[in-house]
């Protein structure tokens, strides 16, 4: 693998959280992950297995307790908060289960948000936000408030917002978790399209095999360890079986 192809490179990444009564809880154990430009990866695993913790590290929202993490070949373990914010803003678009839209701001304002720190003139921000809304098929809804939209539409606004900053990577944490299956499938088809047509690297967290199957690769996390990392298997039982290996190590 050429260094320049690497989006995510984790070596022996561990994460612990301090416990209120003293001591700590280790949540991630020696995680090694390599993700290349243009991949569509699903991070799967049961609730509490450490998926969101892993994604927060990937997205530079949190840092590893130990190990090395390089994003686009840059060691971000040692960056301060300002530098991390810059890296996030430059490379990553986030999509969350609960959309994280500002409820009292219009759809257009919400999509313009990541452009605030780019030093672009207002007219350019509006132009770009409208272009993104068109891409997700919501150009007619720019004056609406998020509360007036269905869940699927809200998630499309959130995707337009993620795309407005021209990210190299979309990081999505349970993006269909709050949607019915029809809307969920629409969102996933959209991710497929972004990955195929625009070459955006997609890293998506889910605990559902059907959802993960849209990706080209599954990383299955179990109790903070990688139990499986490979192509989407024919059935979920392959992943479930891989869990047994974790505690044999």
Chain residues binding Mg ion by CB under 5 A are 52
- Shortest Cβ 51–Mg ion spacing (Å): 5
Query: At its nearest, how many Å lie between ligand ADP and the CB of residue 172?
Result: 13
> Tokens at residue 226, please?
């990688």
Strand order in the sheet with 66-71: 24-36, 6-18, 66-71, 74-75
Identify whether the C-beta of residue 203 lies closer than 8 Å to the C-beta of residue 55: yes
Nearest approach in angstroms of CB 6 to ligand ADP is 24
* Residue 45, binding choice from Mg ion, ligand ADP, none, Cβ under 5 to 8 Å by partner class: ligand ADP
Complex with ligand ADP: residue 50 or 114, whichever CB lies closer:
50
CB under 5 to 8 A by kind: which of ligand ADP, Mg ion, none does 48 bind?
ligand ADP
**Cβ contact 55:78 at 8 Å:** no
Distance CA 118, CA 248 (A): 49
Smallest separation, CB 52 to ligand ADP (Å)? 3
Residue 44, token pair as written in the block: 């799967």
To ligand ADP, the closest distance from the beta carbon of 185 in angstroms equals: 22
CA distance 185 to 182: 5
Judged by beta carbon, residue 107 or residue 205, the one nearer Mg ion is: 205
Tokens representing 232 are: 């989407």
Contact 25, 15 (CB under 8 A): no
Residues found near ligand ADP in the complex (CB under 6 A)? 17, 27, 45, 47-53
- Judged by beta carbon distances under 5 to 8 A according to partner kind, the member of ligand ADP, Mg ion, none in contact with residue 47 is ligand ADP
Residue 49 binding result from Mg ion, ligand ADP, none, given CB thresholds of 5 to 8 Å by partner type: ligand ADP
What does R_g of the chain's alpha carbons equal in angstroms?
Answer: 18
Using DSSP, state whether 113 is helix, strand or coil.
Answer: helix
Nearer to Mg ion by Cβ, of 52 and 242: the residue is 52
Q: What is the DSSP string of 8-32?
A: EEEEEEEEEEE-TTSSEEEEEEEEE
- Say if strands 169-173 and 92-96 run parallel, antiparallel, or are unpaired: parallel
Partner touching 17 among ligand ADP, Mg ion, none, CB below 5 to 8 Å by kind: ligand ADP
| Residue 27 interacts with which of Mg ion, ligand ADP, none, CB < 5 to 8 Å by class | ligand ADP
Nearer to ligand ADP among residue 53 and residue 155 (C-beta):
53
- Least Å distance between CB 170 and Mg ion? 17
Distance separating alpha carbons of residues 146 and 138, to the nearest angstrom: 12
Nearest to Mg ion by Cβ — which residue? 52
Q: Give the nearer residue to ligand ADP in terms of CB position, either 51 or 125.
A: 51
């Amino acid at each position: 693998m050429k260094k320049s192809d690497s989006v995510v490179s984790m070596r022996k990444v561990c994460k612990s959280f301090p416990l209120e009564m003293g001591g700590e809880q280790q949540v991630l154990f020696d995680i090694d992950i390599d993700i290349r430009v243009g991949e569509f990866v699903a991070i799967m695993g049961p609730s509490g297995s450490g998926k969101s913790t892993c994604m927060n590290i990937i997205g530079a929202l949190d840092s590893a307790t130990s190990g090395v993490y390089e994003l686009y070949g840059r060691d971000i373990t040692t960056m301060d908060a300002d530098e991390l914010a810059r890296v996030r803003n430059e490379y990553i678009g986030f999509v969350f289960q609960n959309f994280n839209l500002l409820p009292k701001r219009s759809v257009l304002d919400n999509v313009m948000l990541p452009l605030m720190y780019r030093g672009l003139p207002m007219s350019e921000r509006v132009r770009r936000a409208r272009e993104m809304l068109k891409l997700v098929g919501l150009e007619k809804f720019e004056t609406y408030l998020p509360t007036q939209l269905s869940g699927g539409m809200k998630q499309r606004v959130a995707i337009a917002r993620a795309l407005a900053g021209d990210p190299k990577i979309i990081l999505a944490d349970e993006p269909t978790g709050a949607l019915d299956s029809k809307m969920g499938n629409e969102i996933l088809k959209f991710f497929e399209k972004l990955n195929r047509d625009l070459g955006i690297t997609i890293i998506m967290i889910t605990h559902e095999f059907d959802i993960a199957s849209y990706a080209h690769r599954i990383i299955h996390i179990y109790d903070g360890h990688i139990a499986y990392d490979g192509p989407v298997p024919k059935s979920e039982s392959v992943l479930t079986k891989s869990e047994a290996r974790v505690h044999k190590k």
